[in-house]
Amino acid sequence: MNDQIKVKIDVLLHFLRKNKDHLVIDADTHVTELNTLSGAISKLYQTTPNYFHGRPISAEDLLKEMNLAGVDMSLIWQNPSTLEYYQEDLDGNYEKLLKANRNILNAFLQHPTRFIPAGWTDPKALGVHNALKLIEVLIQEFGFFIVKMNPAQNAYPLFSDGVVKCVERIVALGGVPAFHFGADTIYTPPEDLEKIAELHLETPILAVHMGGGGASYLEAEETYLKTRELGLRMPNIKFILSAKRDTHIESDLITYQLAGAPFKHNIFCASDAPYGRQSWNFGGYDSMFKSLMNGKLHTDQRLQENHDAFSQEDVNNYLGGNFARFIIEWYEKFLIKQMVSS
């Protein structure tokens, strides 16, 4: 990490420490440098202003939406819909994904109190060797302590040799692995997530979507239920709530709130922008939490029996406090690891 990156990380952490109790943070957003678009998605983007799957947004677009939605900060990583991998060129794919990650770094450096940067690797598209090399760049040069993989995007099993090697490298360098974890493909079942989490019980695993993703509601039902139960067995799994049916989101929140610590601190609200609108998602969270704090009138029997289950402090934690404290704790550990290793 160069001095500029270190300074910006310090700015980020200082801001989080000072404001952690009242920040609204979106823990899952994807931004794109729009002048890098090419091929079919570039043509589609220029052809219509209407939404299409993964329609890219720039960092500046996201900032505007954050201001409209009352979101103070967003975790940002690259948008997989904008990245067309070559069929047989592993090195070319490495360069493409490296560039996409570098754009995330640049957005963070410009807005260190609005964006939390996170990286992305792919052991299939890049090959395991290049995926590991990219992890080292992301962690040691860019200062990203979170590195994500998306088995659903590129059709590889969550619990597989290449993924395990990537997880081992991330953890060895002081980082935290993150995964797209949804019911939308066969590649991310709850059983595989549990196996990954068991590898390093003292290290958190970020499971993005908490079993949601792009699956139909009926198709996702079994994964939703298994995932809710899995998180109560494996407290090192942290869930980013995005791209999931709202009724199940509410059930997740009630279940984990009543389970108490540490489980009620393991859920982070998010939108999955641009796949979901921040204004819609956080407007919905706001209304949902108001109803959850009114247990006496709520239709869920558990809240009727526990009128005061949700306090304003709890709500603030779900909306940003939980994630702020997670980032502070694990970024600090990460920085210590980097100092010891250098």
pLDDT tens-digit profile of 63-96? Answer: 999 999 999 999 999 999 999 999 889 999 999 9
pLDDT at 122 over 80: yes
Q: Tens digit of pLDDT for each residue in 312-328? A: 999 999 999 999 999 99
Kindly tell me if the per-residue pLDDT of 5 is higher than 90: yes
HSE-CB for 124 with a 13 A CA cutoff: 15
Query: pLDDT for 178-226, tens place per residue?
Result: 999 999 999 999 999 999 999 999 999 999 999 999 889 889 999 999 9
Enter the pTM of the model: 0.98
pLDDT exceeds 80 at position 6: yes
CATH class for the domain made up of 3-341: alpha beta
Residue 339: band (very low, low, confident or very high) from pLDDT cuts 50, 70, 90 = confident
Of the pLDDT bands very low, low, confident and very high (cuts 50, 70, 90), residue 233 is very high
- Torsions phi, psi for 201 (to 5 deg): -65, -20
Mean pLDDT of the chain: 97
CA distance 15 to 320: 13
Sign of CA dihedral 4, 5, 10, 12: positive
**Domain map (residue ranges) of the chain:** 3-341
- The percent of residues in the chain predicted with pLDDT above 70, rounded, is 100
CA distance 142 to 135: 10
Give me the percent of the chain exceeding a pLDDT of 90. 95
Could you read off the pLDDT of 31-44 as tens digits, one per residue?
999 999 999 999 99
Quick one: pLDDT at residue 318? 99
Q: Residue 255's closest CA among 222, 287, 227?
A: 227
Tens-digit pLDDT profile for residues 138-168 = 999 999 999 999 999 999 999 999 999 999 9
pLDDT above 80 (res 268): yes
User: Is pLDDT above 90 for 340?
Assistant: no
pLDDT at 3 over 80: yes
**Alpha carbon distance 238, 288 (integer Å):** 21
Check whether 342 has a pLDDT greater than 80: no
- The pLDDT of residue 16 is 99
| pLDDT of 123 higher than 90 | yes
pLDDT for residue 177: 99
Three-state SS for the chain is CCHHHHHHHHHHHHHHHHHCCCCCEEEEEECCCHHHCCHHHHHHHHHCCCCCCCCCCCHHHHHHHHHHHCCCEEEEECCHHHCCCCCCCHHHHHHHHHHHHHHHHHHHHHCCCCEEECEECCCCCCCHHHHHHHHHHHHHHCCCCEEEECHHHHCCCCCCHHHHHHHHHHHHCCCEEEEEEECCCCCCCHHHHHHHHHHCCCCCEEEEEEECCCCCHHHHHHHHHHHHHHHHHCCCEEEEECCCCHHHHHHHHHHHHHHCCCHHHCEEECCCECCCCHHHHHHHHHHHHHHHCCCCCCCCHHHHHCCCCCCHHHHHHHHHHHHHHHHHHHHHHHHHHHHHHC
Tell how far CA 204 is from the center of its chain: 13
What's the confidence (pLDDT) of residue 178?
Answer: 99
